[in-house]
Amino acid sequence: MFGFDLLILAPIGSILALSFAFYLALSVLKMDQGTDRMKEIAQAVRIGAQAYLKRQYVGVALFFVAVFCILMFMAVKNYLVIFVPFAFLTGGLFSGLSGFIGMNIATQSSNRTAAAAMKSLNSGLRVAFSSGAVMGLTVVGLGLLDLSIWYYFLNWYYSCHPIPLGTDKIAAITSTMLCFGMGASSQALFARVGGGIFTKAADVGADLVGKVEAGIPEDDPRNPAVIADNVGDNVGDVAGMGADLYESYVGSIVATSALGVAAGLGVAGVTVPMVMAAVGVVASIIGTFFVKSKEDASQSALLAALRKGVFASSFIVAVISFFLIKATLGVEHMGVYWSVLTGLLAGVLIGLCTEYYTSSGFKPTRFIADQSVTGPATVIIGGLAVGMMSTALPVLIVGIAILASYFLSGGAANFNSGLYGIAISAVGMLSTLGITLATDAYGPVADNAGGNAEMSHLPPEVRKRTDALDSLGNTTAATGKGFAIGSAALTALALIAAFRDQVGLYGKEMVLSLMNPNVLVGLFFGGMLPFFFCSMTMRAVGRAAGKIVVEVRRQFKEIAGLMEGKAKPDYARCVTIATAAAQKEMIMPSLLAVAAPIVVGLLIGVEAVAGLLTGATVCGFVLAVMMANSGGAWDNAKKYIEEGHHGGKGSLAHKAGVVGDTVGDPFKDTSGPSLNILIKLMSMVSIVFASFIIRNTFFK
Amino acid sequence: MFGFDLLILAPIGSILALSFAFYLALSVLKMDQGTDRMKEIAQAVRIGAQAYLKRQYVGVALFFVAVFCILMFMAVKNYLVIFVPFAFLTGGLFSGLSGFIGMNIATQSSNRTAAAAMKSLNSGLRVAFSSGAVMGLTVVGLGLLDLSIWYYFLNWYYSCHPIPLGTDKIAAITSTMLCFGMGASSQALFARVGGGIFTKAADVGADLVGKVEAGIPEDDPRNPAVIADNVGDNVGDVAGMGADLYESYVGSIVATSALGVAAGLGVAGVTVPMVMAAVGVVASIIGTFFVKSKEDASQSALLAALRKGVFASSFIVAVISFFLIKATLGVEHMGVYWSVLTGLLAGVLIGLCTEYYTSSGFKPTRFIADQSVTGPATVIIGGLAVGMMSTALPVLIVGIAILASYFLSGGAANFNSGLYGIAISAVGMLSTLGITLATDAYGPVADNAGGNAEMSHLPPEVRKRTDALDSLGNTTAATGKGFAIGSAALTALALIAAFRDQVGLYGKEMVLSLMNPNVLVGLFFGGMLPFFFCSMTMRAVGRAAGKIVVEVRRQFKEIAGLMEGKAKPDYARCVTIATAAAQKEMIMPSLLAVAAPIVVGLLIGVEAVAGLLTGATVCGFVLAVMMANSGGAWDNAKKYIEEGHHGGKGSLAHKAGVVGDTVGDPFKDTSGPSLNILIKLMSMVSIVFASFIIRNTFFK
């Protein structure tokens, strides 16, 4: 029962995280806001971002009401316990809330970061990083809060009410909590897909007319789409990334808890992931204090400063988990600890791989830059080849992590213990999310600070500092993407295993052999879905960008004195157009993700669903790594050319590099990251609809 | 025993096919060779192609000797029966021989087709198609010959010698014959990868310097790489495609035979696929008589002429198979007939899908052409999106074919019968290979005829006819690729099932559940391999093309009077360089394909190998479809622009279209098609090395 007492650490960790986030937010808000011009620009971005989020939340609310009704109907028909619809709502609500808070603080921080950078590089770094930390800690704080509330409530409820399906209490609790991830997943899908479409439509639209046709530089205030572009960084990279990882975070924890029951670890097996998350919160808070830089530090020194924070947190988690697992699961289950370490290590290694393949400091990105000399075609082929090549190491790392965490946790003797090990390695990877997400959300803040400095015509030395911060942000964004993909893959595997248990609860034993044609066909369909999904999102970006292009051209033509800087463009209209387009375009991909497992399940059965989920996870993981890395490498190859290599800015090589960067935009910021959600949401939908599918399969 | 008597049809079919191919070859060779200039050009291409093939065969011979020694060693150590090394040799030999014959007749036909086109369109069509039919019938004839010889020999041998592994005679025969596919696979890999690298290196190299730098048209005799480019069409699209499908053909037949034993169908189950193949040969020969066209037929009428032949053959197979299966397997197994029909139909449907996505007559390719207006980046994004979208239908078709053929063959009652059904659907798809390959191999002949007419300055009306023939060839090449991919996927599945049986023969029962971490990790590794393999082959093309570029530039600079047409370029040197580069570059990808299953097997075991094969088949299939269709659509979008749309030749839109086409070249002619072999060869290697892996796995 010692394990159960420790669980109190979960709500405590949650409150700690939220309090510290609140404290950081207050300290950021107290910072100097800079000149009136800086305030004005930040205000425009803020208004745009809020307008976008409001519109998105209205759309999402409609979706949630519809799904809530469906779930209620299913609960009434006894397909689900009555709490699932409500758990679905809270999951969506908390995920939305963390996106809202994170984005608000991010939009408050851009001008403050620029203003701080007027003083020193370190001040700028601190403000931007603190803003990122607010986001990171809010995500983990709200995630733990939601988990704690439901755990304590269900624990109380099932103590004095009958337990459904004839299982024991702890199984009933975890089986219900598992379903609540679907709310978080749905919210995440809209945030990632909608935000991803918005940000790239605005970016591409602004570039195509502004840079290419009108010949004005990036972030020029005369460009009507420039505010929309800055808004996009916030809604895509902050709110989208936050919702994505919120989902992985709670998803991996509830899946591990559910698998703990099957592994026969009892209450302790359920407690450990939640308590470990709480430990991670404390470690993340401590880690933030390690992030500081000397004045005029090099980029690698800045990166080292951020890394120090992450490594310190990881170290703390590694040490405390040892004692935690020893105390709760006992020495005979110390293997679980090694699984946790495996996950923690795999997360760090995948980040390093991503950096190698996307940073201009290494061979692959330079190879792409070299290819620019022979024109855009070779840049594209080179970038695709690098992206494809870059899938090898992350797959090897994840593969080894799966095997290691399975066998270290005793999978050879007990199959379910091994699955628990895989799941808890995902929890280990995500335990330091508070700080890894902070370094990630730092990126768009620094990017916007750079935009703010440019538009406010701040002096060159300040611009140089914000550039240094921004450039670092590109690296952390790339490693963050690798981390998000890796954790999504492990979480999805845990969810698939949990799906199998859930199906088992309804008395159906699945034959998941590769030689089962239903499984095989599921694998094929699942393998194809990521490609189909990417096609939809890439075309969506193209269509939305087309609308921005038309609007920007119209403003340049119709607003007299705009190009001379005498008149102001109508920023808000571009934001409105991008918002409307993103909302419209995200419907079809989202429906695909929700409908695919249900349709496949109803037609071919739950075994095909398991195949579908596995195929989508494998193919989606590989494709997501490829797209994120190709995109990142093209981006940095272009920047490398702009630094003066192969003829520098304006050369033919540079033009070829720009083509690569433009192709890479939807790769790395829309389609690639959306795949994370696709694979997790499909698993979640399958879990929630498991009983419905089992009872209504067409061909039995 | 009636079934056994029917088997005599296999050698008879083989002899029929080879005799008819010989007759067709003689009639082609009797045709008018055209002017001296035409002969001279054809001669240059022929010499180049033979030089390439000779060099390739020397390299391949070394590989075969090495592998033969390894297999002999394994046979001595009792890992294999002694016949496997020899079966390996004959498989390679016959596959190589069919490539040699097919390519020889193809290079003999280009000038003859051009000469015939001087008379009429129909004459040109007949010559080019006859040449393709020689290739098609040689492939099926030699394939059946090899199968027959081994079957009769082993049947005799095991009648008077002890049977290994304690199985019955028929199992011993099929288990040995299964291994002989590895020889065909290895030969196919070198032909596809080497040929693919050669053809695109020459093409890209010729274009980059000739078209872009020197500003001379395509197929201009002043371009030193023009002969290499024409040679490439023959070694890549004729010899490569032929070896690929030879492998699918024999692979699907031996895999089906092997599965017939497990399905308890006895000798009849082994006989049926071979006899059905023989029926297909006769049907193909009859089908060739349906191919003729009226003078001045439109392109769709030409396509209809070719289609009539294929449909007629399919119809004949469909009718005769019914009686064949009724007679051999009996009415209680008529489900097998429906599986055959499923495969036949799926092959036709996948071809139609490919046509829809890659022909400029339909929306997807026109969409890419529309994207050219906003520059190369949007062309690339559009083409990738179309390619990704185009994976959906073929996957659905293959998925439905798998389920249908499994359940129609009685998989619900007997698991092994279902697997036999899947395998025989692949045989059904490939039964008309004689004629489908003819329409396919027709393409490069028509292409070369066009080149020959251009270089020989034939009158415009002849050029118009060869253009019509060439344009048709692009369509048949695209549908042929779809067919090759679809049949490869089904064949690979049959081989994986056969691998499982083979492992079972050695007394090891595999747990192939998706929840087995070894399987799961195998799936991940397998899912990644196609990406990694494509990266290698794409970069290989880039490096090889770079060498051609340097050589062409050198000749333009050093050979005085070349641009004025007063001096002749050194065609042979470009051929030599492309040959050397292709030979060198194909080593690493080939090693990857051979080594991956062995290494994974030795480290993680046979279950991981099954996962690896399945993951590679799923991901490889989807990726191959995407790459082939993106490439085809880009090619045709460029041609559509050249027809005068969006500004026509020389416009900015055209330039953007050329970028798409160049990116698509390695997609559709090197990396995409090579994936077919990757998935089949890996399965073959796994089957041959099964016993070795089982006994030497490191972590048990």
Task: Looking at the complex, report in whole angstroms how far the Cα of residue B501 sits from the nearest Cα belonging to chain A.
Answer: 11
Question: Is there a contact between B448 and B230 (Cβ–Cβ < 8 Å)?
Answer: yes
Range B556-565 contact pairs with CB under 8 angstroms and sequence separation of 24 or more: B556/B209, B556/B214, B556/B224, B562/B222, B562/B224, B563/B214, B563/B216, B563/B222, B565/B221, B565/B222
Joined together, the tokens standing for residue A495 give 């969810």
Which positions in chain A touch B395 (Cβ < 8 Å)?
A: 524-525, 527-528
Tokens of B187: 């030969």
- What tens digit of pLDDT does each residue of A637-681 get? 998 998 899 998 888 899 999 999 999 999 998 999 899 999 999
Q: Where does the pLDDT of residue B534 fall: very low under 50, low under 70, confident under 90, or very high at 90 and above?
A: very high
- A439 vs A124, B405, B594, CA distance in Å? 14, 53, 42
No. of helices (H) and no. of strands (E), chain B: 25, 0
Q: How far apart are CA A386 and CA A625, in angstroms?
A: 11
pLDDT value, residue A122: 87
Query: pLDDT tens-digit profile of A433-484?
Result: 999 999 888 888 998 898 899 888 899 889 888 888 888 887 788 788 888 8
Residue A297 backbone dihedrals phi, psi, to 5 degrees: -75, 150
Closest CA to B575 of B201, B62, B208: B201
Instruction: Check residue A313 and report its DSSP letter.
Output: H
Show which of residues 37-66 on chain B sit within 8 Å of chain A, judged by CB atoms: none
Closest CA to B480 of B666, B384, B355: B355
What's the pLDDT score for residue A181?
84
pLDDT band at A313 (very low <50, low <70, confident <90, very high): very high
CA distance A447 to A159: 51
**pLDDT tens for each residue of B278-316:** 999 999 999 999 888 777 677 778 888 888 999 999 999
Residue B513 sits at the chain A interface (C-beta within 8 Å)? yes
Q: Which of B272, B280, B281 is nearest to B170 (CA)?
A: B272
Residue found by looking up tokens 């997790």 in the block: A680
Per the structure block, which two tokens stand in for A133?
Answer: 């930390």
**pTM (2 decimals)?**
0.94
**B16 and B147 in contact (C-beta within 8 Å)?**
no
Q: B338 with B318: CB under 8 angstroms?
A: no
More confident residue, B470 or B384: B384
Tell me if chain B has a CB within 8 Å of the CB of A615. yes
Q: CA–CA distance from A316 to each of A319, B79, B164, B179, B349 (Å)?
A: 5, 52, 60, 55, 59
pLDDT tens digits along B404-461: 999 999 888 888 999 999 999 999 999 999 999 998 888 889 988 988 998 888 998 8
| For chain B, percent of residues with pLDDT exceeding 70 | 99
Q: What angle do CA B137, B141, B145 make, to 5 degrees?
A: 175
Strand partners, B513: A513
Alpha helices in B586-605 (DSSP H): 587-604
How many C-beta atoms surround the C-beta of residue A422 within 10 A? 30
pLDDT band at A611 (very low <50, low <70, confident <90, very high): very high
**B396 touches A: beta carbon within 8 Å:** yes
Q: What is the pLDDT of residue B165?
A: 65
Is the pLDDT at B21 greater than 50, yes or no? Answer: yes
pLDDT at B338 exceeding the cut of 60: yes
Residue among B99, B59, B157, B52 nearest B437 (CA): B99
Which residues in chain A have Cβ-Cβ distances shorter than 8 Å to B524?
Answer: 395, 398-399, 402, 618, 621-622
The answer to whether A444 touches A374, Cβ cutoff 8 Å, is no
- Which residues on chain A are in Cβ contact (under 8 Å) with B200? none
H or E element that contains B414? none
pLDDT tier for residue A2 given thresholds of 50, 70 and 90:
very low
Q: Do A380 and B659 touch (CB under 8 A)?
A: yes
Supply the pLDDT for residue B1: 40
Name the more confident of B221 and A487. Answer: A487
Span A254-274, pLDDT tens digits: 999 989 988 888 888 888 999
Q: Can you tell me the mean pLDDT for B674-698?
A: 92
Q: Exposure pattern of B285-310 as b/e (b: 16+ CB <10 Å)?
A: bebbebbebeeebeeeebbebbbbbb
Q: What pLDDT is stored for residue B166 in this prediction?
A: 66
C-beta atoms of A385 and B519 within 8 A: no
What CA–CA distance (Å, rounded) separates A604 from B407?
A: 12
List all residues of chain B from 352 to 371 with a beta carbon under 8 Å from chain A. Answer: 371
In this predicted structure, what is the pLDDT of residue A1? 40
Chain B residue nearest residue A510, CA to CA: B513
Banded pLDDT at B66 (limits 50, 70, 90) = very high
* Six token digits for residue B178: 């299964």
Residue by residue, what is the 3-state secondary structure of A272-297?
A: HHHHHHHHHHHHHHHHHCCCCCCCCC
Do the beta carbons of residue A139 and residue A98 sit within 8 Å?
A: yes
CA distance B396 to chain A (A): 7
Closest CA to A81 of A184, A142, A150, A152: A150
Q: What is the DSSP letter of B375?
A: -
Alpha helices in B161-207 (DSSP H): 169-189, 195-206
Structure tokens at A282: 């404390």
Nearest CA in chain A to B371: A542
- Nearest residue to A376 via CA among B670, B375, B218, B672: B375
pLDDT at A508: 84
Contacts of B332 (CB under 8 A, 6+ apart): none
Residue holding tokens 């280009």? Answer: B110
